[in-house]
Chains A and B, each alone.
Chain A
Amino acid sequence: MIKRSSGSFTILFLTLIVFLSVVTLSLTDDLTQERIAAARQAAIKRMLISLFSEMEAYHYDAQLRIYTIFEAGKPIGQAFMVQAGGYGGPIDIMVGLETDYSLRGIRIVSHRETPGLGARITEAAFLERFVGLTVEQIALTRDNGRIDGITAATISVRAVVDKVREAIITKIDLPNVEKEE
């Protein structure tokens, strides 16, 4: 019998606690894994539908990381996720494109911008400014683009705008657009 004050009991006890912790966690992981995957899937689907309200199905190309949206069996657009570096941390954005490569719109999936300032990039008034723009038009007004900034949210806005334009150029094989080398 090991004495409770001995060093070996201490080691055994801590090992036992860690072992029990590992067992509990792997059980919880097993139980929640599907739910978490389903919740993420549902979140993506909701986001896609908010861009393509007529969506009937979508296909995800895991290699290109592009969602193709279908209505009645025909592709009606594409969407993909991109991450911009905002003021408070990464900003995850979903970009939706029409079949003619103009913007269907963008959605902010997650962000850590300052509430009341940078966080206003999630407001409809800002997001609406992207709708229907071509790649060249996706820039702030002061950079000869078509998007008005938000007062006191310059860093967040610029991060989103520049990243969306850059992502479309690098990600999609656009006809008639020279890629920046």
Chain B
Amino acid sequence: MRYLKKDFIAGIIRANPIFILLLGLCPALAVSTSLDNAIGMTAAATFVLLGANIIIAVIRRYIPKQVRIPVFIVIIATLVTIVDLLLQGFAPALSKALGIFIPLIVVNCMILERAEAFASKQSVGRSIMNALGTGIGFGWALTLISLIRQLFGTGSLSLFGRQLLTIPGLAREPAIIFLFPMGAFFVVGLLLALFKWLGVSNNA
């Protein structure tokens, strides 16, 4: 029980995939231009992470060591394709917005790393908790990056078509640089520095 809680908490801050482990940065940098994208990406990646962790934890004793990575990849790719098809069928707008980055979840290191470092060694229960925690950690990181980029890049915040906040002066002349890839690097870099300064990061 103690472990379950620890495994869940770990991914949120101490082993946050984006800010501490620096994994899964490709989607984090690429789709973090709006809150909608951040939430959609988080949901898709968390589903795949959870599914992969469960399946791998269940069969962990049978996976031959030499082919473990191919096995992980096949499982992850299968789950990603399922998500892709479901999104196309049931949420076409979101599917279009996330575009190529849904298929690219296959090569999201965060998911492969969790499979290799955690699910292939731990019980199903612990793997589920760890996946959920890591998913939440990925989610708030992505949301924070998107929030900053959308706010400064467009001068307003919107969520699923609803306008949440507009900064009058900024909306007229937004700092478009935030929406560019380099803006993503700036934001992520500054946030990393901030978390380091706050002492959240414990690795060198």
A interface residues (Cβ-Cβ under 8 A, vs B):
4-5, 9-10, 13-14, 17-18, 21, 24-25, 28-29, 32, 35-36, 38-40, 42-43, 110, 112, 114-117
Contact = CB atoms under 8 A, between A and B. Distances in A.
Contacts, number: 69
Contacts of A4: 62, 64
Contacts of B176: 114-117
Contacts of B81: 25, 28
Contacts of B154: 115-116
Given A13-B62, A114-B179, A32 B153 contact: no
A150 to B, nearest CB: 13
A2 to B, nearest CB: 11
Contacts of A5: 64
Nearest to A23: B78
A28 B63 contact: no
B99 interface: yes
Interface of B: 33, 62-64, 66-67, 70-71, 74-75, 77-78, 81-82, 85-86, 88-90, 92, 96, 99, 153-154, 174, 176, 179-180
Given A114-B179, A115-B33, A32 B86 contact: yes
Top 6 closest pairs, chain A to chain B, by CB: A35-B89, A10-B64, A32-B89, A21-B78, A116-B176, A32-B85
A32 B88 CA distance: 8
A10 B64 CA distance: 6
A116 B70 contact: no
